[in-house]
């Protein structure tokens, strides 16, 4: 397809498939360059489809060998075939069997969609539209079939032969080959199909479900890495138990398998019974993984496992409904982590991430609704908006209707829709029904893009002892949506008294709910019986994904930072004061005004490092200043990344100077005991320790650098080592290069570790970073064919605030050129690199012009993929 005239798919055009496929018998005869796929499809006309419709099967890059109906050859003029389509103009108007033989080349498959090879092993990726690269098919999620898959391959190269479901049969196939037959009794869409074959090591365990089903658990990894798979295995068992306890959902096959592969476009994939993972999210040991890696593995294992019910048993009617499975499953994995680790810390991390990724997306040219109305390339809609905002929408639903109604709604959803391909309307209807609430206005969260801003003014009236909160909401215009209607926004409120405790909420003489639903442009609520002016704690636990600006003073926020009973807002209050100060510092830097000092920020940070502070994970969040991205978004337009960087550095330096002794004492106190454990408390302690180190080294002076070097040299686990390297990498000191060299000397043969090494260098806020990144693309640690390498180096560079946004535009040109070069090989990953441009319009005019230049040059390139073409077009649109 030419990039200039994209084919747009619209939700409004949805209609049911004209045909259904009831069973799929696949026979996959593996060969490195010429794999034969025989698909026997039992097809019947769909009573809900159009009469006398042609049968049009999707394909991509396919070579047809033969096709037959009910065993008989199809006449040449009845069949129209291209690599992209197989059409039967006049198929039988009754159930029939279509047999299709195709030939595919897994070795030449560099897009990593369909059947491809990764380190010699065969693997598949079918979401969203990869199955059509294996055989001609009705490759759409509302066509659900029962699959039986026979995989045949050479015994020496592919001793392990896997597919979805339960193992039905194995045997010899002659010529040194063997086969396995897998049967999946659960009807599923083609995107959940998977096949893996290779010479893999395995870790095995078992799990007995609540109702007594004995499930074999297997994690497949490269030989020699089995000991790095035990944490993932443990996470599987804990996820299975949690889904039974929290959602009443049991596993439904005799075996649950996870395979780690080194070449993977995304994080992981929930194929029925056979999850395929990016190995980065499976493999972990104290010597090779950081605390962050452990947390990611646990969360992603949980996420993919939870898809078994939210995604697989109940799937999406069409790809516009992607958030039906993704938003909901993210919500579920967030809850799992909250129950497993610290709930407030998880919430803070999720909100940081939401703001960094989703708010940024929502404020720029790539903004789209949680449920988009149209797409040119569905691959480009696996976004923070669909995933993370999609999860926030469900969290709001729970806040609005309450936990009991939410649980009843989930139960009804599972009950009513098991085995179906559903829409968001069907999902939301379950909650409307059980709660008796009208959720029509709530649906706007799915329809309207853009982050609502809520402006709050407060007024205390001493005469009437009342406190009024007035909230005005506004949803900004986004591409294709110039005007917006008010949404229903749950604002959870607390009123904190002078003693730091919550005061009773009374409205109209009665005890009032903490949830105030903002349903119109302006909503006002008056609380009574207040002897003194309380301090309002707004949007507790981040009850809605909005930008809040309130008339609270710094004094109010500093009070909340010290006292708010809601831990999220205790953290948020400190951030708000720091953010205000950073914005003022940036303005001062750009106009040459006096630096606005706010020494009380250091007091708040100081509490994190106080000897009495025992919740280290929470304290580490308190100690971390708002990011450069946070400041950029707060400023909104005419953004100067260098000024933001300088301002943040100055504030950090000021805090470090005023707390030097406290932080040094904390750093000494927080030293590891020696034995490494990845649990949340230990990880929190290490996080606070490195935060202390970061402050101690903030000025790049010899003392701080020496501490970081000592931590690096003496590290007994990868978390400490990487954190020390990260601190060193901020400063162009000789210790930095020595440490980088030492790291490469020790771990040069481990690509996942060298990814961290690449990422650290690409993230450095130093003027030579781009040169280094260019050089590293030519090093032996880099490989354009591996998405993890590309993301670690080029992706990380694209997220580097000052160096991607170099004033000379060289950063923009580099990322655009790299995406262009990668496009022919792997369009999906190439398109993702261009996500770096999602906020380009907010830049100051000089950089904005340079960024636009880079995008325009790219848009004029010939032969762009649909993926890259779509992003470039929208980014410029």
For tokens 């065993």, name the residue. Answer: 71
Of residues 327 and 344, the one with the C-beta less far from Zn ion: 327
Point out the catalytic residue in the list 60, 127, 298, 304: 304
Alpha-carbon torsion, ordered 345, 346, 349, 351, to 10 deg = -110
Decide whether 263 or 645 has the Cβ nearer to ligand PHE: 263
694 binds, among Zn ion, ligand PHE, none (CB under 5 to 8 A by kind): none
Q: What are phi and psi of 291, to 5 degrees?
A: -55, -40
Specify the stretch interacting with ligand PHE by CB under 6 A; choose among 121-129, 403-411, 459-467, 788-796: 121-129
Binding of ligand PHE by 270 (CB under 6 A)? yes
Given the complex with ligand PHE, which of 239 and 265 has the nearer CB atom?
A: 265
Q: How many Å separate Cα 742 from the centre of its chain?
A: 32
392 is catalytic: no
Q: x/- string (CB under 6 A) for ligand PHE, residues 381-400? A: -x------------------
Q: What does the alpha-carbon distance between residue 417 and residue 10 come to, in Å, rounded to a whole number? A: 24
Each as own residue / partner, the long-range contacts of residues 625-628 (CB below 8 Å, 24 or more positions apart, any chain) are 625/575, 625/578, 625/582, 625/651, 625/652, 625/655, 626/575, 626/578, 626/579, 626/582, 627/352, 627/356, 628/801, 628/802
The token pair that represents 65 in the structure block: 């060998």
Taking CB within 5 to 8 Å according to partner kind, which of ligand PHE, Zn ion, none is near residue 127? ligand PHE
Find the binding residues for ligand PHE in span 465-494 (CB under 6 A). Answer: none
Q: How far is the CB of 303 from ligand PHE (least distance, A)?
A: 6
Nearer to Zn ion, 322 or 692 (CB): 322
Of Zn ion, ligand PHE, none, which one does residue 125 interact with (CB within 5 to 8 Å by kind)?
A: ligand PHE
Cis amide leading into 508 (omega within 30): no
- Collapsing DSSP to helix, strand or coil, 596 comes out as coil
Q: Which is nearer to ligand PHE, 265 or 682 (CB)?
A: 265
What are the CB-based long-range contacts (under 8 Å, 24+) for 805-809?
Answer: 805/641, 805/642, 805/843, 805/847, 806/770, 807/642, 807/846, 807/847, 807/850, 808/850, 809/847, 809/850, 809/851, 809/853, 809/854
Neighbours of 510 (CB within 10 A): 9
* Least distance in angstroms from the C-beta of 304 to Zn ion: 7
Which residue sits closest to ligand PHE, CB atoms considered?
A: 266
Query: What would the two tokens of residue 871 be?
Result: 């992003």
Taking CB under 6 A as the rule, does residue 266 contact ligand PHE?
Answer: yes
As measured in angstroms, the least distance from the Cβ of 379 to ligand PHE is 7
Among 181, 269, 354, 790, binds ligand PHE (CB under 6 A): 269
Question: Which listed residue (303, 352, 689, 756) binds ligand PHE by CB under 6 A?
Answer: 303
Element (H, E) at 250: none
Binding track, positions 309-338, relative to ligand PHE; x by CB under 6 A: -----------------x------------
Q: Return d(Cα 383, Cα 377) in angstroms, integer.
A: 12
Task: Report if residue 304 touches ligand PHE, rule: CB under 6 A.
Answer: yes
Q: Nearest 5°: phi and psi at 610?
A: -70, 150
Closest to 852 measured CA to CA, from 817, 809, 819, 802 = 809
Binders of ligand PHE among residues 208 to 237 (CB under 6 A) are: none
382 binds, among ligand PHE, Zn ion, none (CB under 5 to 8 A by kind): ligand PHE
- Which region, judged by CB under 6 A, interacts with ligand PHE, from 260-268, 452-460, 681-689, 740-748? 260-268
List 447's β-bridge partners, or say none.
Answer: none
Asked if residue 515 lies in contact with residue 490, where contact means CB atoms within 8 angstroms, the answer is: yes
CB of 279 to Zn ion, least distance (A): 18
Give the nearer residue to ligand PHE in terms of CB position, either 123 or 149: 123
Cite the beta strand spans of 453-534 per DSSP E.
453-461, 466-474, 489-496, 506-507, 510-511, 515-518, 522-527
Q: CB under 5 to 8 A by kind: which of Zn ion, ligand PHE, none does 55 bind?
A: none
Total residues in contact with ligand PHE, by rule CB under 6 A: 12
Q: Is position 127 an interface residue for ligand PHE (rule: CB under 6 A)? A: yes
Six token digits for residue 52: 């006398």
User: Which CB atom, from 20 or from 128, has the smaller least distance to ligand PHE?
Assistant: 128
Q: Which residues within the stretch 309-348 sit at the binding site for Zn ion (CB under 5 A)?
A: 326, 329
Which range touches ligand PHE (CB under 6 A), out of 36-44, 123-131, 144-152, 194-202? 123-131
| SS3 track for 755-824 | HHHHHHHHHCCCCCHHHHHHHHHCCCCCCCCCHHHHHHHHHHHHCCHHHHCCCCCHHHHHHHHHHHHHHC
Neighbours of 59 (CB within 10 A): 23
Contact indicator for 203, 221 with CB cutoff of 8 Å: yes
Smallest separation, CB 265 to ligand PHE (Å): 6
Give least dist CB 387 to Zn ion, A.
7
Q: Select from 125, 262, 358, 383 the one that contacts ligand PHE (CB under 6 A).
A: 125
Stretch that binds ligand PHE, among 124-132, 489-497, 616-624, 630-638 (CB under 6 A): 124-132
Minimum gap (Å) between residue 170 Cβ and ligand PHE: 28
The listed partner (Zn ion, ligand PHE, none) that binds 269, CB under 5 to 8 Å by sort, is ligand PHE
Residues sharing a CB contact under 8 Å with residue 276, sequence separation 6 or more, in sequence order: 123, 124, 125, 194, 196, 258, 259, 261, 264, 268, 269
Residues near Zn ion (CB under 5 A): 326, 329
Active-site positions? 304
Which parts of this chain interact with ligand PHE (CB under 6 A)? 125, 127-128, 265-266, 268-270, 303-304, 326, 382
């Amino acid at each position: 397809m030419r990039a200039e005239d994209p084919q747009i798919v619209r939700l409004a055009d949805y209609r049911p498939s004209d045909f259904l496929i009831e069973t799929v018998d696949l026979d996959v005869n593996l060969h490195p360059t010429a794999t034969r796929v025989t698909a026997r499809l039992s097809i019947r006309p769909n009573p809900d489809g159009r009469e006398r419709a042609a049968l049009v099967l999707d394909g991509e890059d396919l070579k047809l060998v033969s096709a037959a109906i009910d065993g008989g050859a199809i006449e040449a003029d009845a069949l129209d075939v291209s690599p992209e389509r197989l059409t039967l103009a006049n198929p039988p108007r009754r159930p029939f069997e279509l047999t299709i033989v195709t030939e595919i080349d897994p070795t030449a498959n560099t897009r990593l969609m369909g059947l491809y090879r990764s380190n010699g092993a065969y693997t598949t990726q079918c979401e969203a539209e990869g199955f059509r690269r294996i055989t001609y098919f009705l490759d759409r999620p509302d066509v659900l079939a029962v699959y039986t898959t026979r995989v045949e391959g050479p015994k020496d190269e592919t001793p392990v032969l896997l597919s979805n479901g339960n193992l039905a049969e194995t045997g010899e196939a002659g010529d040194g080959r063997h086969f396995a037959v897998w049967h999946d009794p659960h009807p599923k869409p083609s995107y959940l199909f998977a096949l893996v074959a290779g010479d893999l090591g395995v870790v095995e365990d078992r799990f007995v479900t609540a109702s007594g089903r004995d499930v074999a658990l297997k994690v497949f990894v490269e030989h020699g890495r089995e000991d790095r798979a035990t944490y993932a295995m443990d996470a599987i068992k804990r996820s299975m138990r949690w889904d039974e306890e929290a959602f009443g959902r049991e596993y439904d096959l005799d075996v649950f398998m996870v395979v780690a592969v080194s070449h993977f476009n995304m994080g992981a994939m929930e194929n029925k019974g056979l999850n395929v993972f990016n190995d980065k999210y499976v493999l972990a040991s104290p010597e090779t993984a950081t605390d962050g890696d452990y947390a990611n593995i646990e969360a992603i294992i949980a996420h993919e496992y939870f898809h078994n019910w939210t995604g697989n048993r109940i799937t999406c009617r069409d790809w516009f409904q992607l958030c039906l499975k993704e938003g909901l499953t993210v919500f579920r994995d967030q809850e799992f982590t909250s129950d497993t680790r610290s709930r407030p810390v998880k919430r803070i991390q999720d909100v940081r991430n939401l703001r960094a990724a989703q708010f940024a997306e929502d404020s720029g040219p790539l903004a789209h609704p949680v449920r988009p109305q149209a797409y040119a390339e569905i691959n480009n809609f696996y976004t923070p908006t669909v995933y993370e905002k999609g999860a926030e929408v469900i969290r709001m639903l729970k806040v609005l209707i309450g936990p009991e109604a939410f649980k009843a709604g989930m139960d009804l959803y599972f009950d009513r829709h098991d085995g179906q391909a559903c829409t968001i309307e069907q999902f939301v209807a379950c909650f409307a029904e059980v709660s008796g609430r009208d959720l029509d206005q709530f649906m706007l969260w799915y329809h309207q893009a853009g982050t609502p801003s809520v402006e709050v003014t407060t007024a205390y009236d001493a005469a009437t002892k009342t406190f009024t909160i007035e909230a005005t909401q506004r949803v900004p215009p986004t591409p294709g949506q110039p005007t917006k209607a008010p949404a229903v926004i749950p604002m959870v409120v607390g009123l904190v008294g002078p003693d730091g405790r919550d005061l009773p909420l009374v409205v109209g003489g009665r005890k009032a709910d903490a949830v105030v639903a903002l349903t119109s442009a302006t909503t006002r609520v008056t609380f009574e019986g207040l002897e003194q002016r309380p301090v309002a704690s707004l949007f507790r636990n981040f009850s809605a994904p909005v930008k809040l600006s309130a008339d609270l003073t710094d004094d109010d926020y500093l009070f909340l930072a010290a006292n708010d009973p809601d831990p999220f807002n205790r953290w948020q209050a400190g951030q708000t004061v720091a953010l205000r100060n950073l914005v003022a510092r940036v303005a001062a830097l750009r106009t040459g005004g006096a630096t606005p000092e706010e020494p009380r920020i250091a007091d708040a940070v100081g509490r994190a490092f106080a000897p009495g502070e025992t919740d280290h994970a929470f304290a580490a969040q308190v100690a971390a200043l708002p990011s450069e991205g946070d400041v950029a978004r707060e400023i909104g337009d005419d953004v100067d990344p260098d000024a933001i960087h300088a301002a943040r550095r100055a504030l950090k330096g000021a805090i470090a100077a005023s707390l030097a002794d406290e932080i040094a004492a904390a750093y000494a106190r927080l030293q590891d005991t020696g034995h490494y454990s990845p649990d949340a408390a230990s990880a929190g302690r290490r996080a606070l320790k490195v935060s202390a180190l970061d402050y101690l080294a903030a000025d790049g002076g010899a003392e701080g650098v020496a501490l970081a070097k000592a931590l690096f040299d003496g590290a007994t686990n990868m978390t400490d080592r990487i954190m020390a390297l990260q601190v060193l990498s901020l400063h162009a000191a000789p210790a930095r290069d020595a440490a980088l060299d030492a790291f490469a000397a020790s771990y040069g043969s481990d690509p996942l570790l060298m990814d961290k090494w690449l990422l650290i260098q690409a993230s450095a806020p130093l003027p030579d970073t781009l040169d280094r990144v260019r050089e590293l693309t030519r090093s032996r640690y880099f490989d354009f064919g591996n998405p993890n390498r590309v993301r670690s180096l080029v992706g990380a560079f694209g997220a580097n605030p000052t160096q991607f946004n170099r004033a000379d535009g060289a950063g923009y040109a580099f990322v655009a050129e790299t995406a262009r070069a990668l496009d022919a090989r792997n369009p999906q990953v190439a398109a993702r690199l261009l996500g770096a441009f999602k906020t380009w319009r907010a830049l100051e005019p000089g950089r904005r012009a340079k960024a636009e230049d880079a995008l325009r040059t790219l848009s004029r390139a010939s032969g762009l993929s649909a993926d890259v073409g779509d992003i470039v077009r929208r980014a410029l649109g």
